Amino acid sequence: MDRPHDQTHDRLIAELTASAAAVPRLPHPAWRACTWLGVSVAYVALVAWAQGPRDDLALVLRDPAFVSKIVLGVGAAFLAACAALAMVVPGFPAPRRVALALATLAWLAWMVVESSRAGVATPDAIAGWSCFATVLVCASIPMVTLAAQLRRGAALAPVHTVAYAALASTLLADVGARLCDGHRDAAHLLVHVAALGVFTVTAAMLAPRVLRWQAH
């Protein structure tokens, strides 16, 4: 004779089987990150254009050091987005996730070093807040877009996943802010790092509400 648990179990399998319609497979995290990057770069460029690009933009775009920072920023944002999207795929190889995390952290370390070398100018409170706001505005839509993509996956580690998503969004927003502002002193760079930290920590705290198992 079947135990009650066996009956429940068989009934569960029957119900799951009966409700199992065809489902579209989730594309590879890198492809999904490319989609996100396309939408987000367009949005950040739009915000930069609306706010007015920095006066010397044409000049600095000829500077290899500036261009390399922009490329590095976009690349790090892409890697962080890949890491976030990989985390919602059960069983995605851990070494790749670790590599992506290390790349992102290396970029952050470089940012801090750059801040410490940029001099000790007096912080301008108004310009600082303006910069902070620009980063947050630039990060908002990329974050919403990435959160929507993450919600299609499995919420295995919500806090880490959302933290990476916030990191990706703010890294890209930082690139947008660099196109609007000159970053002539350490204060501005620290404002960017602060915006990145605030946005990432806040998003991580809201993670259990943003990311949970979805019914399909």
> Which spans of this chain sit near another protein (rule: CB under 8 A)?
4-5, 8-9, 12-26, 28, 88-91, 152-157, 212-216
Give the start-end residues of each E strand in the chain: none
Report the distance separating Cα 195 and Cα 82, nearest Å. 21
Instruction: Considering the complex, state which of residue 117 and residue 216 has its C-beta at the smaller distance from another protein.
Output: 216
Q: How far is the CB of 205 from another protein (least distance, A)?
A: 16
Instruction: Considering the complex, state which of residue 81 and residue 155 has its C-beta at the smaller distance from another protein.
Output: 155
Q: How far is the CB of 130 from another protein (least distance, A)?
A: 39
Q: How far is the CB of 6 from another protein (least distance, A)?
A: 8
Instruction: Considering the complex, state which of residue 77 and residue 147 has its C-beta at the smaller distance from another protein.
Output: 147
Q: Which residues contact 101 (CB under 8 A, 6 or more apart)?
A: 83, 164
Residue among 78, 89, 96, 84 nearest 25 (CA): 89
Q: How far is the CB of 172 from another protein (least distance, A)?
A: 25
Per-residue CA distances from 14 to 18, 151, 185, 198, 216 (Å): 6, 26, 65, 47, 16
Instruction: Considering the complex, state which of residue 21 and residue 58 has its C-beta at the smaller distance from another protein.
Output: 21
- The H or E element containing residue 154 is none
